[in-house]
Chains A and B, each alone.
Chain A
């Protein structure tokens, strides 16, 4: 009798049919997984780690780009913990892996490299947070530190994703710049250098997310200036202090209007305020090339201080630049730098001066004399201050001539000549209490230069008027 047509066929044959496809699928999957791994690791190329410090270059991106990825580059970095036997403590550091970082194009893509650098900077930021935690918890063991590290790594991943989301992987330029400013500011907050820059002559203090470039001199209008400038984030951030006795009497708002009118720049916004007896003018201007200038002007006696944030308005969205400008200007503060100079004298640094000699001027002298040149600006001085003994101190930065050609430094008061020795152009002139007149007097401070071979050397000097009533009472 033939087999029932509905009876199940032989199991052995069916098992064999299905076993082969399952094994084929399994081996194919294993092969694919191995291939993906090989591509991810650049066929097991050696891994070079780079610690945070030196800027990244495209040579640090040796991985193979994923075939279907829509991105042009990617970086792989993480935080690690190591035991420092010299300090008997743990230390966290950020490291980048070249084999797992890749790029499609290395040509003319410094902007993209910068975006990846800031991914690495975010990792470094979290490494510093970890080190801050270790410092505050010196008794924690390795297990506890690893748990904290795991938590920080979660926060790191979140921040990295947020950075990419908000900047759309660097395509939104102004947001990219804003993130750069934020990350630099956060890195500063975990470093010994707080980022606050103070000019100890004018007392102007402002926050720079990266160290600015300093320069000083005398401009074309014969006005001494001290300037801090940072060209970064697609912007220019500037703090500049000018000094001229005529500034005492100007109407600041009118001065500013005239200044911009001469330059052909349109004032979009101007706000005049009084704070602590000092006039402040906030200004927003735009020039013909669509550069926007956010500024703050402040007059303090003979000093005119200017803050400036400059950026282009040609991009559709300038929110990020505006936020950076606002942060920069809002961080400004006018401080009293007296304590800095008093500390300088106590610490006996190169700026401290000792009076080398004092002699009485002889107007009839024809050699070994000083020819007092007409009063002109030769440098930038700090408004006079007094120490506990009543000694008058005037910090001074000679700007008209370079350090290398300045010879001797002098202070001239009522025919008494004080000579000073110091290694730096930046010195502190001092006048003991017993030598100070009781009524308002004028001090000429300045220097001679080395290549002056005349019998009466030319005394490049600046006159400062001193009112003895400004001197604080001396406590016995």
Chain B
């Protein structure tokens, strides 16, 4: 449990490849949304929620494959925030290059940060329960 809040393993192994992972997944996610928007595809809200979860899962899966170990709670949060920063950076650059005006909704930024943190808390809790039940699938 204590290792979950230990930031040292993450920062000890942290390198540019982790940033590249997060940023490339952010770029991929942004592109998927742009393609769906251009194609005027009209999915129900739960489909969009599902599409939103995938990049976060992908982020952690690639981290696990690269580092041969899963990330801990602190590391997952940081990796998620790097992904969010990457996504907003891509949005900013896209708007700047093509539309020349950019606006950021501070409320939505705070909203996403809180949602991510709460989600990771839930994942950590589920993981802990599974560990207690000796059913480690995450």
Residues of A within 8 A of B (CB): 8, 14-15, 18-19, 22-23, 25-26, 29-30, 32-33, 36-37, 39-40, 66-71
Contact = CB atoms under 8 A, between A and B. Distances in A.
Contact of B27 (A14, A29, A40, A70): A29
B24 A25 contact: yes
B21 interface: yes
Nearest to B31: A29
Given A18-B66, A33-B94, A37-B98, A25 B38 contact: no
A71 B40 contact: yes
Contacts of A67: 39
B134 to A, nearest CB: 22
Interface string B64-92: 01101000000000000000000000000
A199 to B, nearest CB: 49
Given A8-B68, A32-B35, A36-B34, A22 B24 contact: yes
B35 A69 contact: no
Contacts of A39: 38
Contact of B39 (A14, A15, A18, A68): A68
B30 to A, nearest CB: 7
Interface of B: 17, 20-21, 23-24, 27-28, 30-31, 34-35, 38-41, 62, 65-66, 68, 94, 98
Contacts of B35: 32, 36
B17 A18 contact: yes
Interface centre among B31, B35, B65 (most CB of A within 10 A): B31
Given A29-B30, A29-B31, A36 B24 contact: no
16 contacts: A8-B68, A15-B17, A15-B66, A18-B17, A18-B21, A19-B17, A22-B24, A26-B24, A29-B28, A29-B30, A32-B34, A33-B34, A36-B35, A68-B39, A68-B41, A69-B40
Contacts of B39: 66-69
Contact of B38 (A8, A19, A26, A36): A36
Contacts of B24: 22-23, 25-26, 29
A8 B40 CA distance: 46
B62 A18 contact: yes
B31 A32 contact: yes
B40 A33 contact: no
A71 B42 CA distance: 12
A69 B35 CA distance: 12
A26 B27 contact: yes
Contacts of A8: 68
Given A15-B17, A18-B17, A25-B24, A33 B31 contact: yes
A23 B27 CA distance: 11
Contacts of A68: 39-41
Given A36-B35, A37-B98, A25 B40 contact: no
A460 to B, nearest CB: 67
Nearest to B20: A22
Given A18-B65, A29-B24, A36-B34, 7 more contacts: A15-B17, A25-B27, A29-B31, A30-B27, A32-B35, A33-B34, A36-B35
A432 B66 CA distance: 107
Closest 10 CB pairs of A and B: A68-B39, A29-B31, A22-B24, A69-B40, A29-B27, A26-B24, A36-B38, A25-B24, A22-B20, A32-B31
A64 to B, nearest CB: 11
